[in-house]
Structure 1
Amino acid sequence: MSPRKAAAVRTGDRTLREHLIATAERMMAERGTAGLTVRAIAREAGVADGVLYNHFADKEDLLAHALRARAESVASTLGPLPEPGTATIEENLRAYVAYGLTLHNGLLPALAGLIARPEVLARFAALSGGEEDWRTRLARYLRAERDLGRLAPDAPVDAATSMIVGACHEPVLSVLFQGENLAHRVPLDAVDELVAVVLRGIGPR
């Protein structure tokens, strides 16, 4: 164990495994994942290259855990998602859309470099342990509001969910296909317009 690594772990309560995940997460957030190598992560963490394989099956395993940590870090800065039957539909949808945009913008550097790494994304999904993701919660929320009679009885909530999710995915996809310099990031001030468009299709008539 190098002095640098030893000092990094001693300064907090993190284990070496947690230290490696935190290091990879920080590098993802700052530099993205393109060209992120085991050697670069090990050097940043202050350990020998082979140390990573004492704690993770392979590089993909470490990246999946780092991406999960990144998602949790971004989500921790956001408030709780509203429950059905509370406030107004418009206010609640604003909260869901703002949550999705902030989450995807926060994950953008990592996700854009992992689109071509399905094995990492599959392992990332498996780490949720069956926990509902933002998209699933949004769809469940809309169905519940329809059941409560606060949306049109024939409201196409699946289509509304896809519309909102697509808008939040746009920043990641535009980076993938157009590159960082040409990418279109959906600004948070677009939330009201998106909610208004969705409500025209699913709101009470």
Structure 2
Amino acid sequence: MARQARVLRDQPGHPQALRQHLIDATQRLLAAHGVTGLTTRTIAHEAQVADGVLYNHFAGKDDLVVVAMVERFTELGRQFSAGCPKPGAQDLRTGLTVLVQQCRTFQADAFPMLAGLLGRPDLLHELFTRLHGAGGRTHPVVWSDIVDFVEAEQRLGTVSPDVSPDTIATVMFGASQMDALREPLTWGATHTGTEAVTADGGSQESVERLVDVLVRACRAD
């Protein structure tokens, strides 16, 4: 039988501590390996509990995976919002650069988890339903934060009124997703050690190229 995890020895009689412990263990496995190959047994082994324990707190493995992802995505959204630039507090290029870097950091964590669900449309649907709620907001917090920033800069006159904030969010979000996909595949072939690298593993040069495009698209001349 699996030995009792330390967090449970330290907090006996607290079922919520065990529930959160299972969520934390699942998040670690998702971050390291994604959904592929994730089983009840691997989760139990990571959490150092008996195989059947998770059924006391979740409907099954899929329910635990979705709960773990919702919690992680919610935290990533909070981190993104906290790091967003304030409209008018800096020049447009600096503000867009911060947004791009924030978006890349978000995608570096979020995209591998989402990619793992592409073969499970049922879980993907359940994830977005729980994140956004039935009839809730159309776009995730990250998307809305980008749109809000561009709209605020438009009101300040630094972004052209002809620019679509939603399109800017699409370009920034999509480019960051491509970077999250491309970086692990091309790292060994394209990085020589002389190129500046951002915290999420992407090159500073690619950030600047994207910002150049966004500034030209947004500028109010």
| TM-score scaled by length of structure 1 | 0.81
With over 3 angstroms needed to count, the CA separation of the structure-2 counterparts of 1:193 and 1:172, relative to structure 1, is: closer
User: Which among 125, 143, 157 is matched to residue 165 of structure 2?
Assistant: 157
Deviation string 1:31-51 (CA, Å, 9 cap, x unpaired) is: 222111112111221222222
Q: Which amino acid aligns with 2:160?
A: A
RMSD: 2.9
Distance change in 2, residues 1:155/1:108 (3 Å): closer
Query: 1:53 maps to which residue?
Result: 55
State the Cα deviation string for residues 44-86 of structure 1 (Å, max 9, x = none). 2122222212211222221122223433565677652122222
2:161, 2:75 → 1: CA distance? 38
Aligned-residue offset at 1:144: 1.9
1:191 aligns with 2:193: no
Q: Which residue of 2 aligns with 1:167?
A: 175
Seq. identity, %: 33
Q: Match of 2:9?
A: 10
Equivalent-residue separation in structure 1 for 2:180 and 2:100 (angstroms): 16
TM-aligned CA deviation for residue 182 of structure 1 = 5.8
Superposed counterparts of 1:86-125, under 5 Å: 86-125=89-128
User: Which secondary structure does the structure 2 equivalent of 1:15 belong to?
Assistant: helix
Provide the secondary structure at the position in 1 that maps to 2:163. Answer: coil
- Residues 112 and 172 in structure 1, CA contact (< 8 A), matched pair in contact too: no
Residue 42 of structure 1, aligned match among 35, 41, 44: 44
Query: Which residues of structure 2 form unaligned runs of 5+?
Result: 191-199
Q: TM-score, normalised by structure 2?
A: 0.76
**Partners of 2:62 and 2:123 within 8 A in 1:** yes
Provide the C-alpha distance between the structure 1 equivalents of 2:179 and 2:157, rounded to a whole number of angstroms: 34
Q: Given the superposition, is the C-alpha separation of residues 124 and 162 from structure 1 closer, same or farther in structure 2, using an over 3 Å criterion?
A: same
Count of aligned positions = 200
Match of 1:201 in 2: 217
Equivalent residue runs for 1:119-138 within 5 Å:
119-125=122-128, 126-127=130-131, 133-138=141-146
1:54-93 aligned within 5 A: 54-71=56-73, 80-93=83-96
